[in-house]
């Protein structure tokens, strides 16, 4: 598969999140360059970025490897999300543009319609788009970047159960947008805090604490080095 050099970081991150490269597995520049159809230079740059984001670690004698976060580190990410997403919503109520509101309202209409029809196939991606736009509406590049990285890492570490009532979930999204549109920062903050707390309860760790690391590394290295990789 060949991708643009500037997209290598996104491609590797997406594959880590999807489990193509398992926790602890080695990431060699040569194999990654061959896989994505690029030179080793953008791969090297991507690995540096992913290390800064917490997806990759560099080990002596092993080089770049997929990070192996602990259960506590995973829990910390959810706690950070509980604090930052409400703050982002409060800022969005003060800084959002009409373009942000247009996208947010459109997503809510689409999400509510599909939730009512029981068409849940793409509700998760719509929800991700909603929260990404809400973060962008906060008008802070640093906050948007931090929340985006949090979402990526949480998606990597946790499986999320589908909400029992998608209609209620999208009603919550709609109420948040109404508060943002009115410029009511405190209501946007409190509604988002409640929404985030409820969704956090549906998160389940993808990895088993205490699992045998050596066995997982052997398996993941064997999978990464097989010629019939995904894609």
Is residue 34 predicted with pLDDT exceeding 90? yes
Q: How far apart are CA 123 and CA 105, in angstroms?
A: 15
Contacts of 55-62 with C-beta under 8 Å, sequence gap 24+, read 55/13, 55/16, 55/152, 55/153, 55/156, 56/16, 56/27, 62/26
Tell me the Cα Rg of the chain. 19
User: What is the tens place of the pLDDT at every residue in 125-145?
Assistant: 899 999 999 999 999 999 999
User: What is the tens place of the pLDDT at every residue in 40-73?
Assistant: 999 999 999 999 999 999 998 889 999 999 999 9
- Average pLDDT (184-199) is 97
- Identify the pLDDT of residue 209: 58
115 touches 106 (CB < 8 A): no
User: What is the tens place of the pLDDT at every residue in 169-190?
Assistant: 999 999 999 999 999 999 999 9
- Average pLDDT (13-31) is 94
Is residue 225 predicted with pLDDT exceeding 60? no
User: What is the tens place of the pLDDT at every residue in 76-107?
Assistant: 999 999 999 999 999 999 999 999 999 999 99
Geometric angle at alpha carbon 140, from 139 and 143, rounded to 5°? 130
Q: What pTM value is reported for the model?
A: 0.80
Q: How far apart are CA 57 and CA 187, in angstroms?
A: 40
- Identify the pLDDT of residue 208: 67
User: What is the tens place of the pLDDT at every residue in 145-173?
Assistant: 999 999 999 999 999 988 889 999 999 99
- Identify the pLDDT of residue 228: 34
- Identify the pLDDT of residue 60: 86
The DSSP H or E segment spanning 57 is strand 56-59
- Identify the pLDDT of residue 184: 98
Is residue 215 predicted with pLDDT exceeding 50? no
Binned at pLDDT 50, 70 and 90, residue 191 comes out as very high
């Amino acid at each position: 598969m060949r991708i643009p050099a500037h997209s290598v970081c996104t491609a590797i991150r997406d594959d880590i999140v999807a489990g193509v490269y398992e926790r602890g597995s080695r990431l060699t520049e040569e194999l990654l360059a061959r896989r994505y159809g690029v030179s080793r230079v953008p791969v090297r740059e991507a690995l540096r970025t992913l290390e800064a984001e917490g997806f990759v670690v560099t080990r002596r004698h092993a080089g770049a490897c997929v990070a192996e976060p602990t259960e506590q580190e995973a829990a910390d990410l959810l706690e950070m999300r509980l604090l930052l997403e409400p703050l982002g919503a409060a800022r969005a109520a003060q800084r959002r543009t009409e373009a942000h509101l247009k996208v947010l309202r459109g997503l809510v209409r689409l999400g509510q319609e599909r939730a009512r029809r029981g068409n849940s196939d793409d509700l998760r991606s719509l929800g991700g788009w909603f929260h990404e736009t809400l973060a962008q509406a906060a008008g802070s590049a640093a906050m948007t970047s931090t929340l985006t990285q949090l979402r990526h890492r949480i998606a990597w570490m946790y499986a999320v159960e589908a909400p029992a009532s998608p209609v209620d979930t999208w009603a919550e999204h709609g109420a948040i947008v109404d508060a943002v549109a009115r410029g009511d920062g405190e209501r946007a903050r409190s509604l988002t805090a409640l929404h985030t707390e409820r969704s956090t309860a549906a998160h389940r760790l993808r990895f088993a604490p205490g699992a045998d690391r050596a066995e997982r590394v052997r398996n993941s290295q064997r999978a990464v080095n097989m010629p019939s990789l995904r894609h």
